[in-house]
Amino acid sequence: MQRDLTLAFRDLWMQHVVWTRLFIISTVSGLNDLKYVTNRLLRNPKDFEKILVQYYGQQKAGKFQNLLTEHLLIAANLVNAAKDGKTDLVESERKKWYTNADEISDFLASINCFWSVKSWKAMLYDHLEMTEAEAVQRIEGHYENDISEFDKISTQALKMADYMAVGIRKQVNGR
């Protein structure tokens, strides 16, 4: 179970960042696959829900799914606003994004005593900062920097996955 849980969360967080990256690329480049990429990206929160429901029940797993979906929708608005040069809208969406990260952090800490608000906020804020930097690099055509930023995002996503899996294992084992 321990190894499977870690692998499951690593897979989910990597899918989260990979499909986010593909969304950014498709949006910025105006690719015809945007609808399909978006649909696949929005499946990710539902996939998280399927695993979390086993440990936290439908209501709590559903709440996480809703918060993570909101995270993705805000990110989409942010990328589109940045692409279109709408700086006021970028700032507004950025504030919503960080508020959503706070809500996710608070929620996760409330359902598992081995997950701290402080740790989740730090990880999610890093995630947001790097994802926005990735999008900006892509928009500005700095592809080498864009790729480098994604490498950092991937490493950080695995840290979030491991933190999530360890917390659930500790909670299930009562330590």
Q: Would you say 71 and 35 are in contact if contact means Cβ atoms under 8 Å apart?
A: no
Residue 175: predicted pLDDT: 75
Residue closest to 13 by CA, chosen among 165, 157, 164: 157
Average pLDDT for 50-66:
98
Residue 2: predicted pLDDT: 57
Instruction: Give pLDDT tens digits for 115-157.
Output: 999 999 999 999 999 999 999 999 999 999 999 999 999 999 9
Residue 1: predicted pLDDT: 52
Q: Would you say 117 and 157 are in contact if contact means Cβ atoms under 8 Å apart?
A: no
Q: What is the mean pLDDT of the chain?
A: 97
**Which amino acid belongs to residue 1?**
M
What percent helix, strand, coil does the chain show, rounded to 5? 90, 0, 10
Q: Would you say 68 and 54 are in contact if contact means Cβ atoms under 8 Å apart?
A: no
Distance CA 31, CA 37 (A): 10
Residue closest to 157 by CA, chosen among 116, 117, 135, 128: 128
Distance CA 91, CA 127 (A): 17
3-state secondary structure of 38: helix
Give the confidence band of 56 by pLDDT, cuts at 50, 70, 90: very high
Whether 174 shows a pLDDT value over 90: the answer reads no
Whether 43 shows a pLDDT value over 70: the answer reads yes
The reported pTM is 0.96
Instruction: Give pLDDT tens digits for 72-108.
Output: 999 999 999 999 999 999 999 999 999 999 999 999 9
3-state secondary structure of 114: coil
Q: Which single residue is written with the structure tokens 């849980």? A: 5
Please report, rounded to a whole number, the percentage of residues in the chain having pLDDT higher than 70.
Answer: 98
Distances (CA, A) of 115 to 83, 94, 105, 160: 35, 25, 9, 11
Distances (CA, A) of 59 to 63, 66, 161: 6, 10, 21
